[in-house]
A = this chain, B = another copy of it.
Amino acid sequence: MARSDTRYREAFNDILAYCGTLEIDSALPSENALCQQAGVSRTVIRRCLGKLEELGVIRWEGREKRILRRPCEEDSIAIPPANGSSEDLEKRFLDWILRFDVPANTPLSVAELSRSFNVPQHELKEFLASLSRFGLVARRKQGGWMLLGFTRAFAIELSDFRSVLELNAIANVVDAPIDHPVWAQLADLRGKHMSLKERIDTDFHAFSKLDEAFHEVINSVVRNRFVVEFQKVISLVFHYHYMWDKTHEMDRNAAAIDEHLTIIDALEARDKDAAMEAARRHLRTSKSTLLSSLRHHDLG
């Protein structure tokens, strides 16, 4: 009926183990010192000390805290199975939308989502609130949330925004110093692209991952928290839609490999205009692929 006491439980076992390292009759450090050690507040530490005294592991009177006996297995308390499943909620949520192709204007039930994602309701609400900044979801007048979703307009605006960010990144790469890690990464990517190009007939599915890696390297040059935040969403959306549109998939991927290589060539030649032009062409292709994949799915 209230918050869990996992914090206390973990701290207790922590302090218990620490007691095990001390000699019988030796003194424990101050409460504040123990706070630091366990990374919790004094309130929790004092609760732990109370429990330790109750178990007869220590004697505790004022600032006198002495070890009475060596702690044993039974002294420690059980820690409830930590549902770490609220870890990468974002990835799993976008994954769900894209994989199951949840249509735009679907009402989202917090109760249902919290069950299926195994996450407390209030956490899900906070998450949805944060997503609303991307215009992906919105509050409904009659309460609850609504998936605005991947409409045609959303895709167009996302693509345009991506182009702006990525062209900026390209411009930055050209100006990167010779010892910047991006050059080694690009050389490596060139090799991987060439290799995949040779076995494209059979391995064309592998391109999606390579595409993600390529754009990640390009964007890694721009150290900007806003860019990073958006890149997460952008790469997921494009990654999935790439995998969807099965029409001419092999041809498309083969063409994209060439486009990537053209960009790498221009970058390594430090030819800014050529790099920008090549990137523009590639981004245009990407956009139309994204739009056509939407057309093939449902709405417009």
Contacts and interface: CB of A to CB of B under 8 A. Distances in A.
A122 interface: yes
Given A41-B142, A160-B224, A164-B164, A229 B126 contact: no
Could you say which interface size class chain A belongs to?
20 to 34
A17 B34 CA distance: 66
Interface in A229-265: 229-230
Contacts of A164: 164-165, 168
A127 interface: yes
Interface string A139-181: 0011000000000001001101100110010000000000000
A40 to B, nearest CB: 8
A129 B126 CA distance: 5
Q: How many copies does the complex hold?
A: 2
| Most B Cβ at <10 Å: residue of A127, A134, A224 | A224
A227 B154 CA distance: 12
A226 B158 contact: yes
A25 B224 CA distance: 69
Contacts of A142: 39-41
A122 B129 CA distance: 11
A21 B230 CA distance: 53
A161 B127 CA distance: 24
A224 B134 CA distance: 11
